[in-house]
Every structure is written in structure tokens, then in C-alpha cells.
Chains A and B, each alone.
Chain A
Amino acid sequence: MPNLNIDFAGIKAPNPFWLASAPPTNTGYQIMKAFDAGWGGAVWKTLGVPVINVSSRYGSTNYGGNRMAGFNNIELITDRPLADNLREIEEVKKYFPDHAVIASLMVETKEEWMQIIKDVENAGADGIELNFGCPHGMCERGMGSAVGQEPAVLQTIVEWVMEAANIPVITKLTPNISHIVDPGLAAVRGGTNAISLINTIKSIVGIDLDTYAPYPVVDGKGTNGGYCGPAVKPIALEMLKELTKHPEIQNIPVSGIGGIETWRDVVEFILLGAGSVQVCTAVMHYGFGIVREMKTGLEQFMIEKGYETIYDFKGKALPNVTEWKHLNLKHKVVANIDTNKCIGCDLCYIACDDGAHQAIRIPEENSNRIPEIIEENCVGCNLCSLVCPVEACITMEQRDNGKEHLTWDEKTKANEIPTSFNDDRAGGKHHFVPTVADALKHRK
């Protein structure tokens, strides 16, 4: 059986599955339940200055039959007394000495930082996470994302914290910034032991069409919330890669957060260099039991690939994440439809004809609606295979011989930048070109 133990910047945990600082980690009760269910660590719901929360706090983006493809919230940091939280941290550590309990913190002044670090260390926390991410409410008071968006301020606070802290410090970054490396570097330069990202993304998930207020509605008004859930995973993965590929940051452990729900998500984050993962929305949707699927999936993946620890494959995808200019222009794939599997929905046809490159036709004599690829027009864009509802019905097949390799970068260096449009795959050359009459045949 693979060994899922991790050592994340000195914080040890029985597995990389941590709960993110959020409503599921609001109380000791919840965290003990979570550890009992199989979670390896938990970042406590942010402790800090006193706050008051509003009623109606969460909003959701549903997609078709699926709830909470995206999720946002306007809840603030903990509104429970600090003393209660500290007592519960101590209690959790008593029951679960080998699990990671990390205190998320957000205060304003240097004195407040000093004091609260001392408090959580005394309570027995294994680490600290600095909440520089919340994009709603707290930022209006100069905390949360207001700090994360100002690298200089962020660095100063990290320096204060590092002065006082005796346990590992994780700096949590906001994605509400155009260049994630800037706050990442500031955190590293401030001396942080680790980084976690992403916090939630500024968002409005929808508008109530009767009250004309954004969700979640609070007495006829709303505000931007923080967006998370499966919809944000691609953004999180990209930002994770920005840090883990950066020469000055890559040696700092990064805890990946953002839309993680299944073992596949977990593996993807680890492949891009995450040393632990943090989960919130999936638990808010399905409860702590969701960790069983992640754990068994990760273990099975590791068994099949022959990995003993997550460090055997941590960052393994990073060498393959490159810039566009280094992609092989000689590589060519075209779509292939398995006519035995095709159900004749013709979504590939209309997606390609209306939304892409007019490379699929429905033969007129064909009564079973099975479309065919017009190979000379197919640019290998994948769209048809993405819209196809049937498993493995449309596949992309390689057409180049795999021997030629030429990149834009190489062309540039060889001074071969084209001065005219001469790509064989582009529209107009050797192509079937539909006519004006074809475009207007349904016109009434």
C-alpha cells in the first residue's frame, strides 16, 4: 500500500488531504469529525479581529442538472470568540496528535499579529496560515485580499510574522491579481515557509430576476463574493504552475486549493507541484465522507503507477508545461468518429460547422445521421470530441510521422517568421469551402 504521509514545510500529516480554512473548519467538533472520516489536516477557519456576519451568505452557479459547479460566499472570518477556538484547537490536538492543525490568521497591526501567533502556538497548532486572500468584506477593512494585492505590504506582514513564529508559516495568496508571481515572490522574500493558493475569486454568481439584486441577496442588496468550487480549478492549476515553475519560488512548498473534489483533481495538483491539497466546496456539498473517494483514488493511481509516496510524482507534469512558442508546429491530429458508437446526435457536426472549422459533414444519403470528418478541413482542434456525449466515440488520431519538430521559437531564431498566410491547415488552402448558398439555405 502506498504511504500517503507528508511533511509539508515541517508540518506532518497522515495524508495530503486537508480541509481549507472555511465553514467546514469552523469548530473543533467539525474538525474531529473530519479527521475521523479520513482527512489528514485542517486549516482552522480564520481567527482574527471581531466580526459580524450577514444572513444569506452563499450563492451557487448551477449547470444543467448539476448543483454548485461554482460556489461563492460573502461570509467573513470566524465570528466565534477566540478563546473558544483556542480551547478547541487544544482539544483536537489531544485527540489527534498526528494530524495537522493549522491556524489561519487575519489581524491588522503588528501587535495583534504577535499576540495571536503566541496564542495559537500555545494552543498547540502545528502551523500558521496567513489569510491574505478574502476578496469580500475583510478587504474593505484593509485585510485579506487588500494585503494579497499589495506585494510590499504582504512582505512586511510576512516579515513581522516570521519574527514571532516558532511554527511553520504558510502564506495564502489571492488570485485577484494579474500576476500571481509578484505576491508569491513577496511572500518568499518575507521569509515564508510555504505558500497556499488560491483563495476565492471576486465574483457575482447571478442576479435575482425579481428583486434585481445579486446573489446571495441580503435584504434586497448583494455584494461581490468569493468564487470557488469545481469551476475555478483551471485557474488554480495555472496559478500553482506559475509558482512551482518559478526559480525563486519553486523550492517553497505549495498547498494547492481550488475546486478539488475527486482524486483526479488531487493528482493533477500534485503533478503541478502541490505538496498538499486543501478542500472546501466539495465538503460543503457532500460532507467529510467525500475524502474516501479521494483517498482510494489516489492510492489506486499510485499502485498502478508504482509510486510509494506522493513525492515520487510531485511536479512530474511541470516539465511538460511550457510556453506556446515551444509547441511542435509539425504535430497533426485529426478527429475520428467511431461509427459503431455514434448515436447520431450530430452535436459534433453543428459544433464544428457553426463553432469551428466546417470539417464535419452529414452525408445526405446517410439515413442514420452518422457524420463524417472532412479530413482536409480538420485542424485537430478537439471540439467535436469535447461535445460528443458518448464515451470514446470521437478520438483524435495522430497524422504526422512523429519525426519532424519545429516550434515558433525555432522559426524565430532561424529568422523564418512567415510574412504571408501560408499554413496548410488554415482556411482557404486545399479546403472544402462552403458557399454563400450553404450558409443561407435555411433562410426564410
Chain B
Amino acid sequence: MSEYKRPTSEIEFKQNFAQKKPLMNPTEAAFESSKCLFCYDAPCITACPTGIDIPLFIKQINSGNLTGSAKTIYESNWLGNACGKICPTQELCEGACVFNHQDLPPIQIGRLQNFASSAAIKEEKKLFSPGTPNGRKVAIIGSGGAGIACACELRTMGYEVDIYEAKSKPSGLTLYGIAAYKITNQEVEDEINFLEKQMGLNFICDHPIENKTQLEKLEADYDAIFLGVGIGATARIGLPGEDKTNVVGAVEFIEELRLKHHHLTVPKKVVVIGGGNTAMDAASQSARMGAESVVLAYRRSKEDMGAYGFEYKLAISAGVESLFNAQPIKIIGNGKATGVQFIKTQVINGKLENIAGSEFILESDLVIKATGQAKQKHFLELIEGLELDNKKRIVVNESSFQCTNPKYFAGGDAVNGGAEVVNAAFDGKMAAQGIEQWLNR
């Protein structure tokens, strides 16, 4: 049973979705930063996909150079504030902190990062300026982490950059795809505005790029094009009854929740299908929205789940129940789902097999599918010579992020199939350098 009551106001919503990594106060930051050992060739830097010089920015916090600290962060990662909040730091920098080896709590790197970056954002500190215009133009498709990072990096080198965004606001999944207890809408928007003002980013929102004519125009108008298109909507899983009205995709559910907050009504009985981090987010958030029962159903065992352990624990602590070795076979209901029929599974000789006669029905008035997203295959196939791998991910050169059609560069989920914002931020930055090298070849 969930411990959360249904939020009926923004205040109650905020209580239920209290930030997992709240902003440090100056005393906490001073104390925490004083503990950093300033390791040589620090493992936290290696563990950070963007390689932020973490010991340096922590030392800068401790010595009272907060702006310098923010600059250190943004020099490596254009989404420094968002990443501090939403990165799985337990698995990355904090997981690599040497204190773990003596059973000491690791330095709270993510929160220290936010302490510095959010101060720079709040005080509108001028950390960077656009480079001298070099006469070149780059189009960026998609304003998620990869696109924004690529745009900022290109601006420092003097490129003119237009960012095409299908939605009405920039930032992609950073805003729409993250559990609300990890970062607030305001925090995402503030960072984007901060970068926009500082770097002179030109967002062209409500402007989906979806056909050949548009692509040809971009190819004609720009020196290079960066694809930061992410991945698409939740894929069909092919269950009978999947089309019923109250069967939704997890990413769509998370997006709707971020936009509507307490105005979204989550019914009493929720079943979430899947075992990845998105499933955990969807389940955890359903519980926080006051659902009476939330069941996380995964076809394999707990150990096989793709989700991080801490994400699973977080969902459980929010009141989510878990059901393992349960394969959904049918959505029950007349027009509207009233339940999900499962069959128990077991692994025999390494193969997952259904146990005959073990079918059972779980009542449900909302079924959330967190079973993976469709790739942007149809769109990507419009681009000539753009090679996709067997999982329909864009194939790029691993250092320049250049696609097989040399005018195109790509990064983020469209390339890695779905990873963290920090990975997208890294890809975007590297792609910008790849573009620079290619155009100067």
C-alpha cells in the first residue's frame, strides 16, 4: 500500500515529489566540500561520462570560489546542473569515490555540483561567451541534452546555431522524461534560460522536422546537421488488448505527469510492466500520485532487472510492490482495461519459459508499459546514406560522432539507444568538436 495521499494542490504535489537531492545550504556545502581528499587522477573524474574535474570544483567551493567552481563544471558538461540532480551518481562519480573502500559515505558530489551550478544560474554569472562568428551555420534537430550541449559548444567556437524542437519548450527528456522528484520543471528551464542568454542559442520550437523536403532544406542551408532526436514513443509489445484506453507508455505517462502535476489523476490500481529504470520511475511516481496499489511486474527475476538497485529500492520505499517472473499475456477488459493476465515464468537451461497452467489475473485500472521505446526509424531512413545498426541506432564514428552521411552528426539516445542525460551531454559536446574538425579538414 502506498503511503502517499493523492495530491490535490501544487503544494501537496511538491510534498509527494520532494526532491531526492535537495539543494545544499552553505554550511552543508562547506562541511561536505572540506571532506574531499583531492585524490590524484581521481576515480570520480574517470567515472563521470563528461570527465568533470570534480576534486577541483569541490576545492573551489571550499575556498569560496563558487563561480570558478561552476565554470569548472560547465567546461566539461553543458548541463551541469541537470546532471548533478538526475545523474545516477551512486553508479558514477559517487560510486567511484575512494571513501567507499573504507565503508565511509562517499562525498555527495551531485549535490555539491548543484550547489555551485545553481548559484551561477541564480546569479546569472557570465561564465562563457560565444566565440567570434566564423560564418558557419549548424542545424540541430532536437533540443534535448545532446542538442543543447552540441549547440553551446558550437557557439563557443563561433558557429551560428539553430535548434529545431518539435515540442513547445526546449530540453527534451531532461524536462519531459525525468521523474519529478529528481528535478523540478523550474530547475530545467532555469538552466536552459541561463545557457540561452549566455550563449545566444536560437531555439525554434513547435517545429518538428519530419519530412524529406525539410531535411533537404536544412542540408542546403547549413554546413552541418546534428541529430539529437532521441528515441520515440513507447513501442508496442503486441499484447492482446494493448489498445485499450487506460494502457499507456511509461515515457508518455512521465511526460504527462511532469506537465500536469496534481491535475493528472492516477487511478487506484496501477500495474507497471517492465524492469528498467523507466519502469521504476513510472511505478514510484504512480505511488507518489496516491495510487492505492502499484505493482511492478517483470517477466524475469529481480536480479535480471536492468534498473539500478537504488532506483528499485526507491520505488519499493514509495510503496510499490513487485512481482517477478510474471509474463503479461493479455490485457483484460471491455474497452477499458480492468486487469492484466500474467503467466509465471522460470528459467530452464538459460531460457525463459512460461509455466503451463500458471496463468493469473491482476486487477488494474491503469497499465503502464515500460518495455522500451520505438526508434525513430522512419524519420532516420529519410536521410540518405545514414546507417543504422541492427537495433536501429544511428551509427557514428566514436570520437567525432559523425554519421555515415558526413554532413550529419549525432549523439544521445538516438545513438546509444537510451542512456543518461550526462551521456547525451558528452556526445553533443564531442560532436561539436567533430563538426569543427570536419569543416576545417
Known: A64-B34, A65-B30, A390-B102. A349 touches B40 (CB 8 A): yes
- Interface membership of A165, Cβ < 8 A: no
Decide yes or no whether B101 CB sits under 8 A from chain A: yes
Report the nearest B residue to A388, measured CB to CB: B37
How long is the Cα–Cα vector from A65 to B34 in the complex, in angstroms? Answer: 5
Q: Is A290 an interface residue (CB 8 A)?
A: no
Cβ contact within 8 Å between B98 and A343: yes
Q: Is A350 an interface residue (CB 8 A)?
A: yes
Q: With an 8 A cutoff between CB atoms, is A314 at the interface?
A: no
Are B40 and A347 neighbours in the complex by a CB distance under 8 Å? yes
In whole angstroms, what is the CA distance A389 to B98 when docked?
A: 10
B101 partner, pick from A64, A65, A344, beta carbons under 8 A: A344
Of residues 20 to 66 in A, which have CB atoms within 8 Å of B's CB atoms?
Answer: 64-66
In angstroms, how far is the closest chain B Cβ from the Cβ of A383?
A: 14
When distances are taken between beta carbons in the complex, the residues of chain B under 8 Å from A389 are 37
Task: List residues of A whose CB falls within 8 A of some B CB.
Answer: 64-66, 341-347, 349-350, 369, 389-390
Cβ-neighbour of A345 out of B30, B34, B39, B62 (below 8 A): B39
**A64 and B40 in contact (CB under 8 A), knowing A343-B99, A344-B98, A344-B101?**
no
A65 CA to B36 CA in the complex, in Å?
10
Q: Which of A66, A341, A347 contacts B39 (CB 8 A)?
A: A347
**Chain B residues whose CB sits within 8 angstroms of the CB of A349 once the complex forms:** 40
Q: Which residue of chain B has the shortest Cβ distance to A368 in the bound complex?
A: B101
Top 5 closest A-B pairs, CB basis?
A65-B34, A350-B40, A343-B101, A346-B40, A64-B34
Which residues of A have CB within 8 Å of B102?
Answer: 341, 343, 390
Contacts of A343 in B (CB 8 A): 98-102
The verdict on B310 contacting chain A, using a C-beta distance below 8 Å, is no
**Whole-angstrom CA separation of A343 from B43 in the bound complex:** 11
Closest CB in chain A relative to B56 CB, distance in Å: 14
Interface membership of chain B positions 18-31, coded 1 if the CB is closer than 8 angstroms to chain A and 0 otherwise: 00000000000011
Report chain A residues within 8 Å CB of B39: 344-347
- The residues of B that contact A65 with a CB separation of less than 8 Å are 30-31, 34-35
Q: Which residue of B lies closest to A346 (CB)?
A: B40
Can you list 28 A-B contacts (CB < 8 A)? A64-B62, A65-B30, A65-B34, A65-B35, A66-B34, A341-B102, A342-B101, A343-B98, A343-B99, A343-B100, A343-B101, A343-B102, A344-B43, A344-B98, A344-B101, A345-B37, A345-B40, A346-B39, A346-B40, A346-B41, A347-B38, A347-B40, A349-B40, A350-B40, A369-B41, A369-B43, A389-B37, A390-B102
Kindly report which residue of chain B lies nearest to residue A344, judged by CB atoms: B98
- Give the complex CA separation of A343 and B98 in angstroms: 5
Residue of B40, B41, B98 with highest tally of chain A CB at under 10 A: B40
A389 to B102, CA, bound (A): 10
Task: Give min CB distance, B319 to chain A, whole Å.
Answer: 37
Q: Which residue of A lies closest to B39 (CB)?
A: A345
Residue of B nearest to A387 (CB): B37
Nearest-Cβ distance from residue A440 to partner chain B, whole angstroms? 17
Beyond A343-B98, A346-B40, list 10 extra A-B contacts (CB 8 Å).
A65-B31, A343-B100, A343-B102, A344-B39, A344-B43, A344-B98, A345-B40, A347-B37, A347-B40, A369-B41
> Considering the chains assembled together, what is the distance between the CA atoms of A369 and B30 in angstroms?
28
Residues of B within 8 A of A347 (CB): 37-40
Which residue of A is nearest B41, CB measured?
Answer: A346
* In the complex, residue of chain A having the shortest beta-carbon distance to the beta carbon of B31: A65
CA distance A347 to B38 in the complex (A): 8
A345 to chain B, nearest CB (A): 4
B141, chain A: closest CB distance, angstroms: 34
Binary A-proximity of B97-114 (CB < 8 A = 1, otherwise 0): 011111000000000000
